[in-house]
Amino acid sequence: MSIETNDPELFQPMSAECLRQQEDLELIASENYVSADVLEALGSVLTNKYAEGLPGKRYYGGCQHVDVVEDIARNRALALFAGSEGVNVQPHSGAQANAAVYLAALKAGDTILGLDLSNGGHLTHGSPANSSGKLYRAVHYKVNDEGRIDLDQVRDIARRERPRLLMTGASAYPRHWDWAAFRSIADEVGAVLVADIAHVAGLVAAGLHPTPFGHCDYVTTTTHKTLRGPRGGMAFARADLMKGLNSAVFPGTQGGPLMHVIAAKAVAFREALAPAFTTYQAQVLTNAQAMATRLTERGFRLVSGGTDNHLMLIDLSDAPYSGKDAEAVLGSVGITVNKNTVPNEKRSPFVTSGIRVGTPAMTTRGLTAVDAARVADLFADALEQRDDAERLADVRAEVHALCGRHPVPA
């Protein structure tokens, strides 16, 4: 018995999605492919268990085994990030992890200072559309004309606005973060310092990106981007802040934890502690450099002129097409990307003047720097010859052939 025989209506789109992931090239910077072991944990009977509370302190009986699972996940998370002191692995997502940190650190109406959404920030860093911008008074810093965070500007805004919480981290910022400098700004104005490393967590764990641990009071992340685990989140805090953070996760912002997802997080953390994970992250960076170099040679303007991490943001402000148009053209040749706002954006978030691309998923399926440069050429060819159906068909055939030579591992 299976979904295929019991529920063909549902099986059809599920199997179509499986095929799409195999056949098409995934360049969305926040997506990746999990291992068979992660999928096994996600599909396990742990989904049947309620376990509000923490290991050894639950509100329900029968938690003796899931307690062990959650302890394994917590211990591995702490081992993965040198300098971390405490962690809660229950947040259902990065957004939930951020909401819990805000609840732990702030009172309603307090000021938070984070990176502006159209400059690479995230909805949960104080967008008026998100609870972080409704419950708190949010102010923002932006990138400078070179597309980089300007610490003098951040310091000036912090001195003027006196934020209670200084948020760092981004969803579309291709450069390193200087957390020591942010710490000095936070100290000067008496702010709590938070890093949202949802995008770069895998690079940080591998020692290939500066670490916020030792500088920040709280660190949040998702577990499914460069970290290559199940969809989910987690939140770290200094040891003396953990009690408040734990209460802010449950009962503050969530109910029962998803124990099957926590088991899958534990699987992913074990995988990330293995030496092969460092090799993988190094290849993610090599591939990003190869793509950035070739895209630049082909005439695309990258925000900040390149990348230090796994992603790049292509500014199409001067192109005769929008981010939305580019996403559609690339989708038609089997290259999946997301349109993205760029600094000084003139279009709506539904249209945009940018495309964000990243290398984590293509690297998981084994593509190397030579392939990454070729992908950049296919990307450029499709956009340059977007009105030539024959050329688009050729690009699509080459994308499918490349993906066929590099099957998704799980």
Tokens of 136: 């708190």
Would you count residue 359 as binding ligand DSN (CB under 6 A)?
A: no
**Is 324 in the active site?**
no
- 407/366 Cα distance (integer angstroms): 8
Q: What phi, psi does 137 have (nearest 5°)?
A: -90, 110
CB of 343 to ligand DSN, least distance (A): 17
**Is 50 in the active site?**
yes
Closest by CA to 345, choosing from 383, 369, 315, is 315
79-83 long-range contacts (CB < 8 A, ≥24 apart) are 79/269, 79/273, 80/205, 80/269, 80/272, 80/273, 81/204, 81/205, 81/211, 81/213, 81/219, 81/236, 82/211, 82/213, 83/211, 83/213, 83/214
Burial 294-307 (b: 16+ CB within 10 A, else e): bbbeeebbbbbebb
Nearer to ligand DSN, 192 or 200 (CB): 200
**Is 371 in the active site?**
no
Task: Indicate which residue of 74, 164, 225, 228 is catalytic.
Answer: 225
Burial 155-189 (b: 16+ CB within 10 A, else e): bebbeebebbbbbbbbbbbbbebebeebbebbeeb
- 90/74 Cα distance (integer angstroms): 10
Give Cβ neighbours of residue 3 (< 8 Å, ≥ 6 apart).
10, 11, 14
**Cis omega before residue 251 (within 30°)?**
yes
Cβ–Cβ < 8 Å for 3, 10: yes
Task: Indicate which residue of 31, 37, 52, 110 is catalytic.
Answer: 52
Residue nearest to ligand DSN (CB): 30
Nearer to ligand DSN, 125 or 164 (CB): 125
Nearer to ligand DSN, 220 or 353 (CB): 220
> Beta partners for 301?
315
- 310/143 Cα distance (integer angstroms): 19
For residues 167 to 206, the per-residue mask of contacts with ligand DSN, x marking binding by CB under 6 A and - elsewhere, is ----x-----------------------------------
CB of 91 to ligand DSN, least distance (A): 13
CB of 109 to ligand DSN, least distance (A): 25
CB of 274 to ligand DSN, least distance (A): 25
**Is 307 in the active site?**
no
Nearer to ligand DSN, 53 or 94 (CB): 94
Task: Indicate which residue of 148, 155, 231, 324 is catalytic.
Answer: 231
Nearer to ligand DSN, 196 or 325 (CB): 196
Nearer to ligand DSN, 69 or 115 (CB): 115
Nearer to ligand DSN, 32 or 246 (CB): 32
Nearer to ligand DSN, 171 or 221 (CB): 171
Q: Which of residues 112-141 bind ligand DSN (CB under 6 A)?
A: 122
Would you count residue 340 as binding ligand DSN (CB under 6 A)?
A: no
Q: Is the dihedral of CA 171, 172, 175, 181 positive or negative?
A: negative
CB of 375 to ligand DSN, least distance (A): 19
CB of 278 to ligand DSN, least distance (A): 23
Give the CA radius of gyration of the chain. 21
Distance of CA 173 to the CA centre of its chain: 11
Would you count residue 30 as binding ligand DSN (CB under 6 A)?
A: yes
For residues 154 to 173, the per-residue mask of contacts with ligand DSN, x marking binding by CB under 6 A and - elsewhere, is -----------------x--
Total residues binding ligand DSN (CB under 6 A): 4
**Is 150 in the active site?**
no
For residues 84 to 103, the per-residue mask of contacts with ligand DSN, x marking binding by CB under 6 A and - elsewhere, is ----------x---------
Distance of CA 263 to the CA centre of its chain: 20
Q: Which of residues 50-89 bind ligand DSN (CB under 6 A)?
A: none
**Is 67 in the active site?**
no
CB of 201 to ligand DSN, least distance (A): 12
CB of 66 to ligand DSN, least distance (A): 27
Q: Which residues bind ligand DSN (CB under 6 A)?
A: 30, 94, 122, 171
Task: Report, as residue numbers or ranges, the catalytic residues.
Answer: 50, 52, 196, 222, 225, 231
